[in-house]
Structure 1
Amino acid sequence: MANLGLYRSRKHNMIAGVMGGVAERFGWNANLLRVIFVIVSVASAAFPGILVYLLLWLVMPKQDAQLNAPSQ
């Protein structure tokens, strides 16, 4: 079963799994996305980035455990 939605990752999480979930959804590197997010946040005085992250944390559901299980 393919993961078509946007979920907070259980596999690639550091704080809440938001950036890991976005990276998994689009097939990007989670660590690179985190670095880019931090750079953009700091360049914009950090407040919008923190606000966006908190909003995504509240809105994005946690990934189902079934989606992480290896298929047989």
Structure 2
Amino acid sequence: MTTKQLHRIPSESMLGGVAAGLADYFGIDKVLVRILFVLIFFIPKPVPIVLIYIVLWIVMPKGERYFEARPNPEHQSR
């Protein structure tokens, strides 16, 4: 049994893989996480989202997706 850990996914990154890692951890689409980062960036309140992203980029270890697409054994040719 593997435990789910928070990590960034450089192979699916646009910048550092932070959004892809967060999306994989929470089981949501990475595009949604990226949109949320952009929306938070444009909120008029002083939310240091760029600083938060950089800290996450430094703190989160590199990793790969937990839920890779695996072939279904029933559909494999014999």
Letter in 1 for 2:27: G
Name the CA distance, whole Å, in 2 between partners of 1:35 and 1:69. 23
Give the counterpart letter for 2:41 in structure 1.
S
- 1:15 is matched with which residue? 15
Q: State the one-letter code of the partner of 1:37.
A: F
Q: Over the residues paired in the alignment, what is the CA RMSD in angstroms?
A: 2.9
Post-superposition, which runs of at least 4 consecutive aligned residues in structure 1 deviate over 2 A? 44-47, 67-72
**Structure 1: segments with no counterpart, 5+ residues:** none
| Structure-2-length-normalised TM-score | 0.71
The answer to whether the 8 Å contact 1:3/1:25 transfers is no
- Cα distance change on mapping 1:39 and 1:27 into 2, 3 Å: same
* Conservation of the 8 A alpha-carbon contact between 1:12 and 1:30: no
Instruction: Report the CA distance between 1:2 and its aligned residue.
Output: 3.9
Q: Residues 3 and 37 of structure 1: is their aligned pair in 2 closer, same or farther, counting only changes over 3 Å?
A: farther
| The structure with more radius of gyration | 2
Are the counterparts in 2 of residues 9 and 62 from structure 1 also a CA contact under 8 Å?
Answer: yes
Secondary structure of the residue aligned to 2:10 is: coil
Q: Kindly indicate which of the two structures has a greater share of residues assigned to helix.
A: 1
